[in-house]
A and B are shown apart, each in its own frame.
Chain A
Amino acid sequence: MSEDALVGRVAALLDDLTAAVGPGPAAAELVAARTTLAGPLRVAVAGWMKAGKSTLLNALLGEPLAPTDAGECTRVLTEFRYGPEPAVAVVDAAGVAHPRPPHRDARGALDIDLDMDLEAVRRLEVAWPLPALAGVSYLDTPGLESPTPGLAARARRALLGELAGDRGVDAVIYLMRHLHASDVAFLEAFAVAPRSDSGPVNAVGVLARADEVGGGRLDAPVVAERVAARYRRDPRLRRLVQTVVPVNGLLAVAAGRLGEGEVAALGALAQLPGPRRAAVLRSAELLVAAPDLASVSPIVRAELIRHLGPFGVRMGAELLAAGEVEPDVLGVALRAASGIDGLRGLLQERFAARAGALSARSALAVAERVASGQDEPVRSQLLGQVEEVVANAPQLAELGALNLLRLAPPRMPAALLDEAEGLLGGFGTAPAERLGLGRAAGPDEVAGAALAAADRWRALSESPWGDVAATRLARVALRACEGMVAEVAPPT
């Protein structure tokens, strides 16, 4: 069953269920899930207060719409989605949308007068004509802060529960700052995961403010990558997210909107002798006060370092001084250094390519919840319908198996577990990626590898030594191999 077919069947199922439960809140929930199923991929951005959520969001949007002033700015759940015209609406507790003028401040950030009690606001909906919003919408969640774990977790789950109950979330980006892995806060940030329809398969971690990890030095990206690599290996994090990537959101936003004045200022810095340049860049105060940068006004200097951050300024000046980059493409080079493209690629590979299956999965979770809430015998009947769809969708079995691989890996050599994760599409869904071959691999090579993998996993699935979990995993992997064999070399 292809993804489209799966989405079609889930849509039909939701329609059936809506008719079966009759009008009421349950039906409304199903209708909402039905609408979302056809809509864009919904990605939530979650993390600690001040983790850099809004900055990252702006980097993903390519437009500094989310207010980022230091301090806790995002207080209400905000949804950014595509719209032909800029439009902003405040949705109240009753679900009624009140349009508001889409006013922006001097720095381009939305400046919306909610004109309503903060408690009465359910969410803010922002529609904007941005290319980055084609096919995906982002949910900016209020920052988290925790006193007592149980109570905080409940409050937080209520937040994401509302997210899920409302429209569902297909994927989550968790922002983490540089923390020690044994830190409470580190794991607490993940307590938000609504267990029912989320799991590592649709979550990625972002080491945000990556430039600060290395003290804003030129080698900050290297250090950040090292830290991210440690997180990727952490067994506790493996249960929570697919992978962890470092992103310097501040630089990504700035690089996309580098003004001429800023490039000129960086150029002036690049003119300074190396040691002198390093000396004036030791702090923002020193840069602003430096006497040998007469061509750049102190105000511009202050704005420059605020906008790009110490790392961005160092990097930009260094690139220009080395003559490696022409001023007109400096923005592109800085953007590459920010790591934002890596995250985008990841979202594309891991989420967008599975958008249908992920959406179907969220919708099925709603369907199952609604069905379970009915009285017998309707309950059993509806649950049976849900199970029928689930049982006939290998994509869902793959997602489930991928989650299990991370949550509770079966007893198997690590190399085999890695191979299984690849086969199930954990590292990309194209056959060559699943088989661990280069993108350039030809059809014959792919077919050969798929056949060999199929043999291997068939043997594992029939092995009398495997326990239940291992056997189940082997069967799903085998099915994935067979699917690829069929896809690459259709039977003649």
Chain B
Amino acid sequence: MTGAPLTAPTPRPTPQSTRPGARPEVFALARRAAGAYRRPDLERRIDRLTADLDARRTLVVVAGDFKAGKSTLVNLLLRMSVCPVDDDVATAVPMSIEHSPTTTVTLLHRPPRPAPGDVASAVGEATVPAGADAGTSEAAQDEVRRTPIAFEHLAAIVAPTDGEVDPELLGAEVGVPSPLLAGGLILADCPGDGGLGSFGRLRSLAQLAGAACLLFATDATSELNEAELSFLAVAAKVCPLVLVVLTKTDLVPAWRDVYDRNLGRLDDAGLGRIEQLAVSAHLRAYALADGDPGLDDASGMGRLERWLADRVLANAERLADRSALVGLLLCIDQLERQFDTERRALTDPAGAAGLTAELEEEASRLRGLRDGAARWQQVLNDGSTDLAAKVDLDLRQRLRRIEREAEESIDGEDPADIWETFEPWLYGRVADELAENFAILRTDASQLARTVAGLFHAAAETAEARLSPVDVAAVLGAVDSDASVELVRFKLSSRAFVAFRAGYGGVLMAKFLTGFGHAAEFAPAAAVMGILLGNKAVKDEAERQLNQRRAAARNAVRRYSGDVALVASAQVRDHARAVQRNLRDHFVEQADEFERGIKVALEQARASAMATGDARTRRLKDVESELERIRSLARLVAAAAQQPSPGGARPAALVSPDTVAVGAGSGA
């Protein structure tokens, strides 16, 4: 079916129709209320909430070993031929595919580097103490060259038959009018070249950091092997949801045995939570060609689509909806307080002076909150410093461990013999440890955000208990979206990707290779000559050369590890700073809103205190009915926000901050 266009999709309910909760009319209503009640700040906030909701994307990474059927799987999920498929040639460039009304393809190229091979400067650049906020990574993102091309040219570029890919090509972004993607799903097809052992692994893991789900393709011709299992073990720590997709079941009559053995191996590896679905993309291709729905059922692809809709998309939407609704609830809460204050002033004119004093005192407390000396700010500052230090230490310990393992390998072997396998192994190991290290960074950053949110709300005495824990989700949402700078929402265009490719993939590798490449070339000849001639001089010389090779190999490993540490700890520091900055901005802004709310309430209270007789009665009636309206809106929103998770059988995710926050909410 190479290159063959697939038949047009049969009309079917799109995932969009399954969207839960977030009713646009609730947001529109609240926005109108904010306008009517002279709160432009709240209007802006609500606009932002809706914009975030619309721009929401759910990243699903498709990874797997070379020739596991990833591209075919993606094509038949989309029901259109997007990824090039070939019996021998593999996709060599990462591709991200999202919804677009028309088919578009954009190539992303690495920004031109200062001087080719000038490794020191490139590494140095990445480690510039980011005193300047618009640091290097930001600049790097701006410089990524984006080139739109025609779809017909895509295959030749991402899966060239001669295997020679433009080394400057970072990836391709494809937009297609696929109903599957209309709900905000992005599929990232990771290249299979290099399998799971080396850069393929690094790239896949880097992408996973921001993914909602990993679809791991493994073909039914054999059960999961060690490399696949070890990849899954790391992936399960980094990504909240992992599904093993058993492909090519049409090719293997005994695929059910493989299916069972895969589950057994997952269990044995302590990965029993990972589910598995069996599919045959080819059967769907036939089904589409023949218009045979029965055959499509047999392909299992429909079950995979439903799984994506129920377990991934619905879940992601629920989290996003909930966080948007909680944000909205906070806005409504402020409106409610505003009217409640006025009602108190109206019902008890005698107490108006006291009320005013009370409000003024509150306003000054809120000003104190914005002050840098406020406790929450101190905790935030200390916390982010500790965060960076802790994660950096963890990173160094991990790298040290890898160095030790590597040296053990080198000391027991002739590096020339093992180098070809050793090198990718080293990259793979580093990728694993980096991924776990970054997972710690994310979890700890979420923890910090929650602590700070607790302190802030306690000090502000604003958010009621029922809101406070859930509100953390909103805070985290803000932090998280900004954290995407480094790790989260890992779109191909994001800075993180550039940093990973340019930092870990490109620069370091080039340095590594030039440092060692040549020694390995000549080794086998020397070894063979020793056998043929069998004389002592050759053997002594061989011994000397072996020692030299070992020393060179050890140096290469240390240098690589040192470079990784430099780049990665710079990223850790950047990330910790971003967390700090975003949290501070978020809460300061909130303090501003509260203050403005009090100001409006104060004015109202003063005006009400002066009103008399009928005017006051009328106003009180108005206020009370406004309050009733606001409260019913609040009830509506609260009900939507606290909907129980439908079918959320998945145990608490390990690292997703949103999930952590929601868990805390339901526990409070």
Interface size grouping (class) on chain B: 35 or more
How far is A215 from B198 in the complex, measured between Cα atoms in Å?
26
Q: In the complex, are the beta carbons of B413 and A153 less than 8 A apart? A: yes
A180: chain B residues at CB < 8 Å are 66-67, 90, 192-195
Bound complex: CA of A183 vs CA of B196, how far in Å? 8
Residues on the B chain within 8 Å of A387, using CB:
534-535
- Decide: A400 near B528, CB < 8 A? Known: A179-B195, A183-B66: yes
By CB atoms of chain B within 10 A, which of A196, A284, A286 has the most?
A284
- Shortest beta-carbon distance, A239 to chain B, in Å? 7
Assuming the A-B contacts A178-B67, A182-B194, A305-B253, are A70 and B258 also in contact, with contact meaning beta carbons closer than 8 angstroms in the complex?
A: yes
Asked if B193 and A215 make an inter-chain contact with CB atoms under 8 angstroms apart, the answer reads no
> Which partner residue on chain A sits nearest B191 by CB separation?
A180
Interface residues of A in 382-412 (CB under 8 A from B): 383, 386-387, 390, 400, 403-404, 407-408
Partner of B298, one of A151, A227, A285: A285
B87 near A215: Cβ-Cβ < 8 Å: yes
Bitwise, A178-214 to B at CB < 8 A (1) or not (0) is 1110111101100100011001000000000100111
Bound complex: CA of A353 vs CA of B603, how far in Å? 105
Chain B residues, CB < 8 A from A209 = 221
A42 lies within 8 A of chain B by Cβ: no
Contact (Cβ within 8 A) B257 A70: yes
Does the CB pair B222–A50 fall under 8 Å?
yes
B251 touches A215 (CB 8 A): yes
Of the residues B230, B253, B405, B534, contact of A302 by C-beta under 8 Å: B253
Chain A interfacial residues counted at CB < 8 A = 63
Kindly specify which of A95-103, A112-120, A141-149, A291-299 makes contact with the partner chain.
A141-149
Within 8 A of A (CB), among B68-89: 87-88
Tell me whether A236 and B413 are in contact in the complex, defined as CB-CB below 8 angstroms, given that A184-B198, A184-B425, A305-B253 are known contacts. Answer: no
B197 within 8 A of A: yes
**Does residue A282 face the partner (Cβ distance < 8 Å to B)?**
yes
Q: Check B87–A154 contact: CB distance below 8 A.
A: no
Q: Say whether B417 contacts A191, CB under 8 Å.
A: yes
Mask of B38-64 contacts with A, CB within 8 angstroms, 1/0: 000000000000000000000000000
Contact present for A408 and B258 (CB under 8 Å): no
Nearest to B248 among chain A residues (CB) is: A215
| CB–CB A149/B418 < 8 A | yes
Residues of B within 8 A of A147 (CB): 226, 230
Residues of A within 8 A of B67 (CB): 178-180
A223 engages B88 (CB within 8 Å): yes
Tell me how far the C-beta of A302 lies from the nearest C-beta in chain B, rounded to whole angstroms.
7
Contacts of A153 in B (CB 8 A): 413, 417-418, 421
B531 touches A365 (CB 8 A): yes
- Complex contacts, B17 vs chain A, CB 8 Å: none
- Dominant secondary structure at the B interface: helix
Contact digits for A283-314, partner B, Cβ 8 Å, 1 yes 0 no: 11110000000000000001001100110000
- Across-interface contacts of A400 in B (CB, < 8 A): 528, 531-532
- Pairwise interchain contact B421-A184, C-beta atoms closer than 8 A: yes
CB within 8 Å of A: which of B592-631?
Answer: none
A52 to B563, CA, bound (A): 42
**B371 lies within 8 A of chain A by Cβ:** no
A304 smallest CB distance to B (angstroms): 9
Cβ of B221: which chain A residues have Cβ within 8 Å of it?
209, 212
B535 to chain A: which residues have CB within 8 Å? 387
Q: Which residue of A lies closest to B415 (CB)?
A: A150
Given known A283-B298, A302-B253, A404-B525, contact A182–B193 (CB-CB < 8 A)? yes
Render B208-244 as a binary contact track against A, CB cut-off 8 A, 1 for contact.
0000000000000111011100100000000000000
CB-nearest residue of chain B to A379: B536
CB-based contact B525/A407 at 8 Å: yes
How many angstroms between the C-alpha atoms of A185 and B527 in the bound complex? Answer: 24
Q: How far is the CA of A154 from the CA of B524 in the complex (A)?
A: 18
Question: Residues of A at under 8 Å CB distance from B?
Answer: 48-50, 70-71, 145-151, 153-154, 177-180, 182-185, 187-188, 191, 195-196, 199, 209, 212-216, 223, 226-227, 230, 236, 239, 279, 282-286, 302, 305-306, 309-310, 365, 368, 383, 386-387, 390, 400, 403-404, 407-408, 469
Supplied contacts A196-B531, A386-B534, A469-B525, 14 more A-B pairs, CB within 8 Å: A71-B257, A148-B425, A150-B418, A178-B67, A179-B67, A195-B527, A215-B87, A279-B286, A282-B295, A284-B253, A306-B253, A387-B535, A390-B532, A408-B525
A-B contacts, 29 of them at CB < 8 A, read A50-B222, A50-B225, A70-B254, A70-B257, A70-B261, A146-B421, A148-B409, A148-B425, A149-B422, A149-B425, A150-B412, A150-B413, A153-B413, A153-B417, A153-B421, A179-B67, A183-B197, A185-B197, A187-B421, A191-B418, A215-B282, A226-B87, A226-B88, A279-B286, A283-B298, A306-B254, A310-B250, A365-B531, A408-B525
Closest 6 CB pairs of A and B: A150-B409, A184-B197, A408-B525, A284-B253, A283-B250, A149-B421
